Every structure is written in structure tokens, then in C-alpha cells.
Amino acid sequence: MLITIHIVNSHHIAPGGRPLRAVLVTGCSSGIGHATALALARAGFPVWASARKAGDLGELEAAGCRVLELDVTDERSRAAAVRQVEAEHGAVGILVNNAGNGGGGPVEEVPLDIVREMFETNVFAMIGLCQLVLPGMRAQRSGLIVNIGSAAGLVTPPTGCPYAMTKYAVESLCDALRPEVAPFGIRVTLIQPGAVRTCFMANSQLHQPEGTEDSPYAVYKANVAKMAARAHRDGARGVLEASDVAAVILRAVSAPHPKARYKAGSQARLAPIARHVLGDRGWDAFMRRLVPFPAPQ
């Protein structure tokens, strides 16, 4: 008789004695993904941190994470990353779908190529990774998928197209997925952070329509940019650090029965309430006061 003995690192044992599930985190080169991988590794989880360039993950590797080169928009890259985790652990125990692009502009000016690119990264890649990890999770009759949404998926900010559109889509994705996979012992949770002080805003400038001085929206866009700069400056009230969101994710993955949604920060909690109370006309009037748009000459 052949007896196979599995040796589990005690560092990866939960307080109750059960092995901690392997975690695959996307978009770990900076921001929420980086902070999340670090927080989970420090909590003892076996973490696979991924980014388009594995060379950007040196700090996480030094902290005990396994690192993967993963371009979430590439089907082969997604499949290879999941296979690598499954080869060692049997299945991806927890998937943190964090990778995403920001940016936007007035609907009239946003090139459709930018809209397609953002949906490819923020929505289609997320669905693709869910499809890849679900068979292994079903086989083990357990698993957790954590999708990173946004307060922008609850209330659309000025010039929110197309970023907010993708985050509204993530809301719907989670609502569809939860009841489908629950019978297999798989949970789905959505993290909804408000504004976070990371390099995400700077990176978002790469996904903006090219500005022109004669744009009919030039003043409006400038006022939106000023508002965003004020909201993200040091000491701004209500702005989260990446570590704040990572702490919420850690709480979700550590919970025996994670909630369907976790709101992070006052913006995510209060803005939807204000939107509901004010109604469409009241909210539009509030937005006009918040971001002035002079009448066309």
C-alpha cells in the first residue's frame, strides 16, 4: 500500500487547525493589490502575488509571497497563472480580483478604444479568472472569490465614463455569481472602496481622452480635475490608504461566512444614501454645485 503524507507548513495553519487556502491576488505592483498581498502574507496565508512584470514584486517576494507574471487581459497568461497555483495547492482557494484601470471623460469625447480597453481589464478579465478558478473550487467544494468594486459602482462621479460603467458591471457580476456557486460551497464577496490615496489616479491619466483647448467641456474637465486633486491630497477627509482597504479584504477572507458586500470608507457608505434621498433632480443639482459647468457662450 502506498501512503502519501502531506506536510503543511505550520505558518499556513489557521487558529482552528485547518490549513489556510492559497490566495491568488492580481494587480500587485502597487496600491490595493500590493497592500493586500502583504497583509495576507503577514497573516499567514500562502499568497501568490501577480502583476504584468514580476520584477515589480520584489518587496512582496521578500515578505514571503510567491510571485507570478500575469497579464489579466491575456487569456493564456490567465490560464498559466491558475495552473501554476493549482499544481501546488490543488486549487486556488481564494481569488482576489484586484487588477484594474481607471480613467474617463465626457461621454461625447471618450474614444471607444478606451472604453473597450477598460472593460477588457476591469470586467472581461475578472470573468475570465472566475471561470478558470471555479472548476478547482467546485472539486474541493470550497472557495472564495473577492472582487474589487468601487464606490463609483454605486454612484457615478462626474466624467465617470467608462470607469464607473465597469464597476457597475462588477456589481451585477457578483449578484449573478453568488447564487450560482453557493451550492458548491463557494462564496463571492464584493469590496466597495471609496477614494483611495494610491498611484491609481496618476495611472488613470493614461486612460483619458486627449484634451483640446477648444473642447466644449474644457472648463468642466478642469473643475473635475481640481476636485479630484483636492480629494486625494494628503490629509483629505474620507480618503483611504491602500492598507485600509487591505484590512477590509483580510477581514473578508478570514471570516467563516464572509458578507456579500463590504463598504470601505465614508464615501462608499454615505454617497449612495445621499443619492437615494436627493433623487435624480436633487443629485444632478448637487453635482452642478460640486463641479461648476459655466453655461455655453
Residue 188 belongs to domain spanning: 19-216+238-270
Does 110 reside within a domain? Answer: yes
Does 122 reside within a domain? Answer: yes
Does 297 reside within a domain? Answer: no
HEC-encoded secondary structure of the chain: CCCCCCCCCHHHECCCCCECCCEEECCCCCHHHHHHHHHHHHCCCCEEEEECCHHHHHHHHHCCCEEEECCCCCHHHHHHHHHHHHHHHCCCCEEEECCCCCCECCCCCCCHHHHHHHHHHHHHHHHHHHHHHHHHHHHHCCEEEEEECCHHHCCCCCCCCEHHHHHHHHHHHHHHHHHHHHHHCEEEEEEEECCEECCHHHHHHHHCCCCCCCCCCHHHHHHHHHHHHHHHCCCCCCCEEHHHHHHHHHHHHHCCCCCCEEEECHHHHHHHHHHHHHHHHHHHHHHHHHCCCCCCC
CATH number, domain with residue 245: 3.40.50.720
Which active-site residues does the annotation give? Answer: 163
Does 257 reside within a domain? Answer: yes
Does 12 reside within a domain? Answer: no
Q: What is the pLDDT of residues 144-184, one digit of tens each?
A: 999 999 999 999 999 999 999 999 999 999 999 999 999 99
Q: Is the pLDDT assigned to residue 198 strictly greater than 50? A: yes
Does 61 reside within a domain? Answer: yes
The burial of 143, by beta-carbon neighbours within 10 Å (0-12 exposed, 13-18 middle, 19 or more buried), is given as: buried
State mean pLDDT over 109-118.
Answer: 94
Does 126 reside within a domain? Answer: yes
Q: pTM of the full predicted structure? A: 0.87
State mean pLDDT over 99-124.
Answer: 94
Q: Is the pLDDT assigned to residue 19 strictly greater than 90? A: no
Q: Is the pLDDT assigned to residue 57 strictly greater than 70? A: yes
Does 229 reside within a domain? Answer: no
Spatial separation of the C-alpha atoms in residues 40 and 249, rounded to whole Å: 9
Q: How many distinct structural domains can be found in the chain?
A: 1
Predicted confidence band of residue 296 (pLDDT cuts 50, 70, 90): low
Q: What is the pLDDT of residues 237-293, one digit of tens each?
A: 678 999 999 999 999 999 999 999 999 989 899 999 999 999 999 999 999 998 887
Average pLDDT, the chain: 88
Query: Which triple of cell numbers denotes residue 32?
Result: 490595493
